[in-house]
A and B are shown apart, each in its own frame.
Chain A
């Protein structure tokens, strides 16, 4: 039986001004509709339109958060403009990413990439993380350029390149010369790239990274971290040896 969308009118009207501590019982109808929308494209489009309309001005923060959670489940490209408009808003940026990160297709990635160049450092870290979760290859040069940014952003950019773990990402990390916390993140990310190459069967590429890191930490102090890095590089080198080739 098709979902009766007239039952949604009252809960959506109540949602606009909902605040934490308010009566959430009416939202059960919306929750049920979200589940039902899986098998009902018309209902899904109707819900998405209603949700997107609530992301503008005049809606409470609690309501926007609820809407973003629901759009993270059923949102499509149609919701991207309304969500993208929140990316620069400190209060709502994270929840907009909460939805955008999960929406399939190029539109949310394009929106995140565009916002990366527009938002401040705090929010930029979020854009980087979300683009990394999508393994967005087009972001690699953008992340590479951020490796000399402030430590928080540079660290996030390095981690993101390690998550993407493409040859281009590995090359960007190899060329990076950050200092402080970002330098540690670059090493972690390079190890992640090497592990990814090893898993994909590209032993030479992995070996080159492990060798470079082993050499870089050869004379480093014997701290717990340096020992762990040495262990990662050495065990990686053992794993990268091609034992099918006669010496």
Chain B
């Protein structure tokens, strides 16, 4: 399918040129606008903006900014230092001062010249911004973890599908870091996949950091957005990758902690390898720590095809003599039954340039990206369910069609959380 926005811009340029010629009015087409051997003409470039330009956002920005088929025009961040740094990178790249900078993402989304956005904010914003972008007709590259609650996934998928948007999740590692387990599984070398062990990090924790004076270079209310109001403290909002109490990724209002942060990668690679991308767990079994102290608590997810994914299962409880197994250095073991299984081609990125290229290519072709939002949200159900089970310390059953836990009111309370006004889904 042709890219609608490209078609329109191309048509606009043609019409403009014709009009200019007919009226003999001055009309200058720069060499940059026309493109060259390595740069497509302006009418064929995807016009992009970025929301959230901190650690991951700046990396994503670099991935898109370096592409000749992208014209980067706007940045948005509630923190002045990230906003100005992002703007500076764009202006430096193009040698002009054309990049617009916004504090409020709604202003950026209101620009009709922008085709696509990348979003790399703290997680409490992901669903609201993604759905707003879809409603505005933008395609979206969304940093992982894509969801903060179980309820958000279906709403994001519905928005993407309703408006025909390309929405890609943002874990480049899923394909690039786990080939040592992906390739043998897809080649059929293990037979039918039967079980998986993987180690996952801890969930997010409550935050009781003291109040500090809010600096003038951050819009604190907008940083919090739909999250509960809490006083400013740099430990809440600084954007490094720590999950041990030294960044927003540590805290439950803004993140699922290491469990969902690294979990998006580890579950992502594992679920991809094991062929579980289209499904969600049906049973989530909580195994309490043993009274003798020999076994710590762990969780087992059972998928509809019977595959069991054990999370943090103690080593001495794992099968020791499985011949048809593959392992990954990040604590992942996938086992099969050794049956004859036809090999399948491993899905890979389209286009060139890794996951960024995959997204841009799909924006052009309207195909679904490698980490399509539905597959990403399916993946994210796993760490979210592990977190719920650990919190409740009991086993759960999941009804995917109803998007509810069976017969467990307390678990269903945790499907979502009230958002602070005026933010709604």
Interface residues of B in 195-216 (CB under 8 A from A): 206, 208-211
Least CB distance from A158 to B in Å reads 10
Residue-wise interface mask of B (32-49) relative to A, using a CB-CB cutoff of 8 A (1 in contact, 0 not): 000000000000000000
Q: Is the CB of B164 within 8 A of A228?
A: yes
Residue-wise interface mask of A (233-244) relative to B, using a CB-CB cutoff of 8 A (1 in contact, 0 not): 001100000000
In-complex Cβ contact of B422 among A19, A156, A163 (8 A): A156
Interface residues of A in 216-236 (CB under 8 A from B): 222-229, 231-232, 235-236
Q: A224-B115, A235-B164 known; A195 and B137 CB under 8 Å?
A: no
Q: Is the CB of B424 within 8 A of A159?
A: yes
Q: Is the CB of A224 within 8 A of B418?
A: no
Q: Is the CB of A232 within 8 A of B162?
A: yes
Q: A21-B209, A101-B418 known; A95 and B137 CB under 8 Å?
A: no
The interface stretch among B20-28, B58-66, B227-235 is B227-235
By size class, the interface of chain B is 35 or more
Q: Is the CB of A225 within 8 A of B135?
A: yes
CA distance A94 to B416 in the complex (A): 14
Does residue B217 face the partner (Cβ distance < 8 Å to A)? Answer: no
Q: Is the CB of A228 within 8 A of B163?
A: yes
Least CB distance from B212 to A in Å reads 9
CA distance A102 to B230 in the complex (A): 21
SS class, residues of chain A in contact with chain B? helix
Q: A20-B208, A20-B211 known; A156 and B424 CB under 8 Å?
A: yes
Does residue B400 face the partner (Cβ distance < 8 Å to A)? Answer: no
Q: Which residues of A are found within 8 Å of B416, using beta-carbon distances?
A: 133
Closest to B424 in A: A129
Does residue A184 face the partner (Cβ distance < 8 Å to B)? Answer: yes
Residue-wise interface mask of B (290-314) relative to A, using a CB-CB cutoff of 8 A (1 in contact, 0 not): 0000000000000000000000000
In-complex Cβ contact of B393 among A35, A104, A132, A152 (8 A): A35
Q: Which residues of B are found within 8 Å of A126, using beta-carbon distances?
A: 418, 420-422
CA distance A20 to B112 in the complex (A): 43
SS class, residues of chain B in contact with chain A? loop
Residue-wise interface mask of A (118-137) relative to B, using a CB-CB cutoff of 8 A (1 in contact, 0 not): 00001101101110110000
Q: A156-B422, A159-B424, A232-B163 known; A222 and B135 CB under 8 Å?
A: no
Q: Is the CB of B138 within 8 A of A224?
A: yes
Residue-wise interface mask of A (100-113) relative to B, using a CB-CB cutoff of 8 A (1 in contact, 0 not): 01101000000000
Does residue B392 face the partner (Cβ distance < 8 Å to A)? Answer: yes
Q: Which residues of B are found within 8 Å of A21, using beta-carbon distances?
A: 208-211
Please report the number of residue pairs spanning A and B whose Cβ atoms sit closer than 8 angstroms: 117
Residue-wise interface mask of A (188-225) relative to B, using a CB-CB cutoff of 8 A (1 in contact, 0 not): 10011001000000000000000000000000001111
Does residue B329 face the partner (Cβ distance < 8 Å to A)? Answer: no
Does residue A58 face the partner (Cβ distance < 8 Å to B)? Answer: no
Q: Is the CB of B422 within 8 A of A98?
A: no
Does residue B5 face the partner (Cβ distance < 8 Å to A)? Answer: yes
By size class, the interface of chain A is 35 or more
Does residue B410 face the partner (Cβ distance < 8 Å to A)? Answer: yes
Least CB distance from A33 to B in Å reads 13
CA distance A47 to B165 in the complex (A): 47
Q: Is the CB of B134 within 8 A of A228?
A: yes
Residue-wise interface mask of A (9-45) relative to B, using a CB-CB cutoff of 8 A (1 in contact, 0 not): 0000000000111101000000000010010000000
Does residue A93 face the partner (Cβ distance < 8 Å to B)? Answer: yes
Residue-wise interface mask of B (147-174) relative to A, using a CB-CB cutoff of 8 A (1 in contact, 0 not): 0000000000010001111000000000
In-complex Cβ contact of A72 among B136, B138, B392, B413 (8 A): B413
Residue-wise interface mask of A (39-73) relative to B, using a CB-CB cutoff of 8 A (1 in contact, 0 not): 00000000000000000000000100100010011
Q: Is the CB of A195 within 8 A of B410?
A: no
CA distance A244 to B372 in the complex (A): 32
Does residue A170 face the partner (Cβ distance < 8 Å to B)? Answer: no
Q: A21-B208, A24-B208, A184-B135 known; A129 and B419 CB under 8 Å?
A: yes
Does residue B93 face the partner (Cβ distance < 8 Å to A)? Answer: no
CA distance A104 to B408 in the complex (A): 12
CA distance A95 to B227 in the complex (A): 10
CA distance A225 to B109 in the complex (A): 10
**Most B CB within 10 A of own CB, among A20, A93, A101, A159:** A20
Does residue A74 face the partner (Cβ distance < 8 Å to B)? Answer: yes
Q: Which residues of A are found within 8 Å of B419, using beta-carbon distances?
A: 129
Does residue B394 face the partner (Cβ distance < 8 Å to A)? Answer: yes
**Most A CB within 10 A of own CB, among B114, B135, B421, B425:** B421
Closest to A100 in B: B418
Q: Is the CB of B164 within 8 A of A104?
A: no
Closest to A130 in B: B418
Interface residues of B in 343-387 (CB under 8 A from A): none
Closest to A199 in B: B158
**Most B CB within 10 A of own CB, among A72, A123, A133:** A133
In-complex Cβ contact of A97 among B4, B8, B211, B418 (8 A): B418
Does residue B409 face the partner (Cβ distance < 8 Å to A)? Answer: yes
In-complex Cβ contact of A223 among B137, B211, B230 (8 A): B137
**Most A CB within 10 A of own CB, among B164, B206, B422:** B422
Closest to A94 in B: B420
Query: Can you offer 24 A-B residue contacts whose CB atoms are under 8 A?
Result: A20-B233, A21-B208, A24-B206, A35-B392, A62-B208, A122-B421, A123-B421, A125-B424, A126-B420, A126-B421, A129-B419, A129-B421, A159-B424, A195-B158, A224-B112, A224-B114, A225-B136, A227-B137, A229-B137, A231-B163, A231-B164, A232-B162, A232-B163, A235-B164
13 further contact pairs, Cβ within 8 A, besides A19-B211, A129-B424, A225-B137: A35-B392, A35-B393, A93-B421, A125-B424, A129-B418, A129-B425, A133-B418, A192-B158, A195-B162, A224-B115, A224-B136, A228-B135, A228-B136
| A-B complex: 9 closest residue pairs judged by Cβ atoms | A21-B210, A224-B137, A228-B137, A126-B421, A102-B413, A228-B163, A129-B424, A231-B164, A24-B208
Q: Which residues of A contact B (CB under 8 A)?
A: 19-22, 24, 35, 38, 62, 65, 69, 72-74, 91, 93-95, 97-98, 101-102, 104, 122-123, 125-126, 128-130, 132-133, 152, 156, 159-160, 163, 184, 188, 191-192, 195, 222-229, 231-232, 235-236
